[in-house]
Structure formats: C-alpha cells, structure tokens
Amino acid sequence: MTKILAFAGSTRKGSFNQAIVNVAAEGAREAGAEVTVIDLADYQMPLFNEDEEAKFGIPEKAQAFKALLMSHDGFLIASPEYNSSYPALLKNAIDWASRMEEGEKPLQAYRGKVAGIMAASAGGLGGMRVLVVLRMLLENLGTIVLPNQKAIAKVNTLMEDGEITDVKAIKQLKTLGKETAELTAKLG
Ligand SMILES: Cc1cc2nc3c(=O)[nH]c(=O)nc-3n(C[C@H](O)[C@H](O)[C@H](O)COP(=O)(O)O)c2cc1C
C-alpha cells in the first residue's frame, strides 16, 4: 500500500497548517493510501550545526524524523509563510534529514518521493509565496512535487474549533491529498 507522511511546518497549538494538512491527509486516505500524520512538536531537534553533528552525530529526534521520511513513499507538507519563505523549524528538520549516514544512499529520504504542498494564512495570499521556495527546495532534494498546490487564504474564517469547516476548502485540500496519493502510487 502507498504510504504517505503528512506534517506541518508549525508546532503552534491551533496551527492553521496542521489543520489543513489533516484534511489533505483524509483525502489521501480516501484514495486508498496509508497515511501517517505527525506533529513536528514530537520531533524537536537542535538548530543544525556541523561541528555538533561531527561530535555527537544526528540527534535521536532528527533520526526518527528521517526514518519516517525514508519509510514513506510520499509526503503532504503544509507550511506557514514566514516573511515570504518557510519557517526555520521546517527547514531545520529537512536539513537534518538530508544528512547521510553509513549504509544510506545520498538524500535517501527525498529522492524519488512525491510531495503535495500547501499553505494556510489569515492573510489574503494564503501563503502562496512560501510554496514557490518550498517547491524549489524539495525538487532540489530529488522529490517530485505535484503541479497542483493549495494556498488557503483567510483560513481563520474557514474554521471552527480548530478544524477546517469550509466545504470548498475541504474539497480542494482533499483533492490535493488524493492526487498526491495517486501519483505516489503510480511511481511506486
Ligand atoms: C516571523 C513571521 C513572519 C510571518 N510572515 C508572514 C508572511 O510573509 N505571509 C503571511 O501570510 N503570514 C505571515 N506570518 C503570519 C503567519 O501566517 C501566521 O503566524 C500563521 O498562523 C502561521 O501558521 P500556523 O498557524 O500553521 O502556525 C508571519 C508570522 C511570523 C511569526
């Protein structure tokens, strides 16, 4: 079965991006994929430092995150937009998981994988600018990013009790999840 890992680049309680990735994950599940949704709060890792890595190796939580990426065929990633780009939290986790250890192939966590990307913001652009750089980052790591992507604007008006309730947004996010699952299955 196609395995998809879903996560958001935010550890904020009540994160908009965790809310949208949960919906996309549901769409992937409905399309037949086995989906694991994680919270990066459970994978806290230090800011990457090459000297520390040389001394102590890859920290346990970073290894666990990399192992999850490696054991899944595709990803659903929702990223906040911080000053037009991705948050340090997300980039740091991606950087740690890009480090090769003995017995691994270069960029094994990323190469040949598929990603569906999305963003959410209370602003009018929905974080669409972060998707440009997130797409570039993932593709440079060897991950195939779906042409379809979703930036959900004014997301705070589309939710109730921390969950997305707007029918149109749910449909768009589920479609992105479904398409990610389908392309991942095709390439698998
Ligand atoms: C440092 C910083 C920079 C931000 N820059 C942007 C931005 O460029 N565009 C935008 O739409 N929102 C921006 N925001 C607002 C975020 O979209 C908002 O904090 C959002 O709730 C983060 O996503 P989350 O709910 O998943 O944590 C910024 C927030 C922070 C803390």
Domain count, the chain: 1
The rounded percent of the chain whose pLDDT value lies above 90 is 99
* Nearest partner of 163 among 12, 20, 8, 9, judged by Cα: 20
Ligand 1: lining residues by beta carbon, under 6 Å:
8, 10, 12, 15-17, 80-84, 121, 123, 125, 127
How many angstroms does the Cα of residue 123 sit away from the middle of ligand 1? 9
User: From the alpha carbon of 126, which atom of ligand 1 is closest?
Assistant: 11
Instruction: Give 74-108 pLDDT, tens digit per residue.
Output: 999 999 999 999 999 999 999 999 999 999 999 99
pLDDT of residue 71: 98
Q: Distance between CA 123 and CA 112 in Å, rounded?
A: 33
In this prediction the pTM is 0.98
Instruction: Show the tokens assigned to 53.
Output: 């890595």
Q: Compute the distance from residue 10 Cα to the ligand 1 centre, in Å.
A: 10
Q: CATH no. for residue 28?
A: 3.40.50.360
The pLDDT score that the predictor gives to residue 52 is 97
Contacts of 12 (CB under 8 A, 6+ apart): none
- pLDDT (average), residues 27-40: 98
Whether the Cβ atoms of residue 72 and residue 36 lie closer than 8 Å to each other: yes
Enclosing H/E stretch for 131: helix 128-140
Q: Is residue 41 pLDDT above 90, yes or no?
A: yes
Q: Residue of the nearest CA to atom 30 in ligand 1?
A: 82
* CA of residue 28 to ligand 1 center, whole Å: 26
Ligand 1 pocket test target in 12, 15, 82 with most atoms within 8 Å of CB = 82
Reading the block at residue 135, the tokens are 């797409």
How large is the average pLDDT for residues 155-160? 98
What is the pLDDT averaged over residues 7-25? 98
pLDDT for 188: 80
For residue 143, the tally of other CB atoms under 10 A from its CB is: 23
> In sequence order, what are the residues at sequence separation of 6 or more whose Cβ sits closer than 8 angstroms to the Cβ of residue 139?
145
Distance 63 CA to ligand 1 centre (A): 28
Distance 121 CA to ligand 1 centre (A): 7
In this predicted model, what pLDDT tens digit does every residue of 119-156 receive, in sequence order?
999 999 999 999 999 999 999 999 999 999 999 999 99
Taking alpha carbons only, the member of 97, 173, 103 closest to residue 142 is: 97
121's tokens: 């913001």
Whether the pLDDT of residue 43 is over 90: the answer is yes
Q: Residue 22 belongs to what domain range?
A: 3-187
